Amino acid sequence: MLKKFPKTEQYDENWIHENWMGPNPLWLLEELCQHLELKPGMKVLDMGCGKGITSVYLAKEFGVTVFANDLWISPTENLKRFEEAGISDRVFPIHAEAHALPYAEGFFDAVISIDSYQYYGADELYFPCTLSKLVKPGGQIGIVVPGLTREFDQGYPQTLKKHWVGEMFSFHSKDWWRHLWEKTGIAEITACYEMENPKELWFPWAIWAQEHLRFDDVDFLNSDRNNDLSIIVMSAVKHE
């Protein structure tokens, strides 16, 4: 049975569908925020925000100031969405690549990334040399990424071999992700686990994308006969 996400249910489903770029990002964000302490006035970096619906959620639900950072989506387009949502005074659209971020060290109270961190953060240098430096001591970091239930010798389950190309090799297990951050000694991991029923979370997006974008995520999910796919939630607090 799919877990309920009461805060997300307050948002228009059509609006979510018009703007999502993967499994319902508000479901994933609502799950992550259970492990974060966000308060009005905090400065939050929303890394890989896509079309900005996670940024809208953060501003509305927690009263934080959000820097909505994305490489693929125009900041002008995102600004229009923020204006329509009535939160453009608290959410600032930024166009920047993950390795060339225009922010001062220690600027943010929290950094959040929903379904994008795997594209750049699987690099061993990214957390210690880039991301963690943007967060002030005692600040929070949280990600949700697609992944695997365990590591495989060839990097992927045999059932998914035909799908495993390019960026798919950034899919890892929760233990892999935990070790990636923990070994740096920079932050204390406060949560690291797999979400329940990951394919049920994934399928609504897959079905929609198959119809509207001609993606093959439905075949991808159906090929996972051994349930090796997961969605991983991880949060941490930077040491003082």
DSSP letters along 189-206, please? Answer: EEEEEEPSSHHHHHHHHH
pTM metric for this prediction? 0.96
Q: Are 135 and 230 in contact (CB under 8 A)?
A: no
Q: Which residue has the tokens 């002030």?
A: 136
Q: Which fold has domain 8-238?
A: Rossmann fold (3.40.50)
Alpha-carbon distance 99 to 172, whole Å? 21
Q: Are 238 and 135 in contact (CB under 8 A)?
A: yes
- Mean pLDDT, the chain, rounded, equals 96
Q: Which residue has the tokens 């959000």?
A: 66
Alpha-carbon distance 27 to 34, whole Å? 11
Q: Are 175 and 234 in contact (CB under 8 A)?
A: no
pLDDT given for residue 223 in this prediction? 97
First to last CA, the chain: 40
Do the bridges between strand 108-114 and strand 43-47 make them parallel or antiparallel, or are there none, so unpaired? parallel
pLDDT given for residue 1 in this prediction? 58
Alpha-carbon distance 59 to 158, whole Å? 42
Alpha-carbon distance 204 to 208, whole Å? 6
The two tokens of residue 7 are 């805060």
Alpha-carbon distance 66 to 54, whole Å? 10
Alpha-carbon distance 77 to 63, whole Å? 22
> Where do the DSSP E strands lie in 115-204?
135-148, 187-194
pLDDT given for residue 214 in this prediction? 74
Alpha-carbon distances of 152 from 136, 167, 169, 173, 186, rounded to whole Å: 36, 16, 11, 9, 28
Strand partners, 187: 238
pLDDT given for residue 213 in this prediction? 84
Provide the b/e sequence for 206-227 (b: ≥16 CB within 10 Å). bebbeeeeebebbebbebbeee
* Residues of the chain predicted below pLDDT 70: 1
